[in-house]
C-alpha cells in the first residue's frame, strides 16, 4: 500500500469522473491492447444497460485515485467478469478479492449458474489469483472475432 495515509478504498459504481483514472489504472495494470481502445470499451459498457461496472477508489490529500475495477455481465447462460484490475501499489491487500466478491454476488443474484473468466495466458499472476479464489481452468478453446476495428477512428453521424 502507498506510504501516505489514504482513505479506505471505496467500491462504487463507475462514474464519468472516473474515466481518466480508470484508463490510467488499466495502463498501469497492462490491460490495454492496441486493438482495444479503452475509451471505446468504457463507452460500450456505459451504453449497455445491463451489468456491473465498478471502480475502487481511494483518496490522499483530497485527490481521488482509481485503484481498482471490475466489470461483470450476464447473458442468461453464463456470467462473465472482465477488467479486474488493482493498482500494483495496492496488490496483495485483499482488494482484488473484494472486487471479485462484489462481481460474484451480483452474478449470483441474477441467477448465473457459472462464471466465465478470460485471462491473457502470459498474465501468470492473474491465473494464479483466479485459481486461489476457486476458478478452474476449463477444457475449452477461447476464440474471438473482431467486429469493430478500435484502431480506426470512430464514425460520426
Q: What is the pLDDT of residues 5-50, one digit of tens each?
A: 677 888 888 889 899 999 999 999 988 887 888 998 888 888 886 6
Going by their DSSP bridges, the two strands 52-60 and 115-117 should be labelled as unpaired
Q: Whole-prediction pTM value? A: 0.83
Cα-trace Rg, the chain: 16
Q: Which domains does the chain have, with CATH numbers?
A: 10-132 (3.40.630.30)
Amino acid at each position: 500500500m502507498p506510504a501516505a495515509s489514504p482513505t479506505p478504498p471505496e467500491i462504487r459504481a463507475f462514474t464519468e469522473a472516473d474515466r481518466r483514472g480508470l484508463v490510467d489504472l488499466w495502463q498501469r495494470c497492462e490491460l490495454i491492447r492496441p486493438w482495444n481502445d479503452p475509451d471505446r470499451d468504457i463507452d460500450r459498457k456505459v451504453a449497455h444497460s445491463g451489468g456491473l461496472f465498478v471502480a475502487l477508489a481511494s483518496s490522499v490529500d483530497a485527490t481521488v485515485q482509481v485503484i481498482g475495477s471490475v466489470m461483470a455481465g450476464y447473458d442468461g447462460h453464463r456470467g462473465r467478469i472482465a477488467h479486474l484490475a488493482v493498482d500494483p501499489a495496492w496488490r496483495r491487500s485483499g482488494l482484488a478479492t473484494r472486487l471479485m466478491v462484489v462481481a460474484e454476488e451480483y452474478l449470483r443474484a441474477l441467477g448465473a449458474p457459472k462464471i466465465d473468466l478470460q485471462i491473457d495466458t502470459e498474465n501468470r499472476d492473474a491465473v494464479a489469483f483466479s485459481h486461489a479464489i476457486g476458478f478452474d481452468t476449463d477444457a475449452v478453446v477461447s476464440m474471438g472475432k473482431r467486429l469493430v476495428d478500435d484502431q480506426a477512428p470512430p464514425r460520426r453521424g
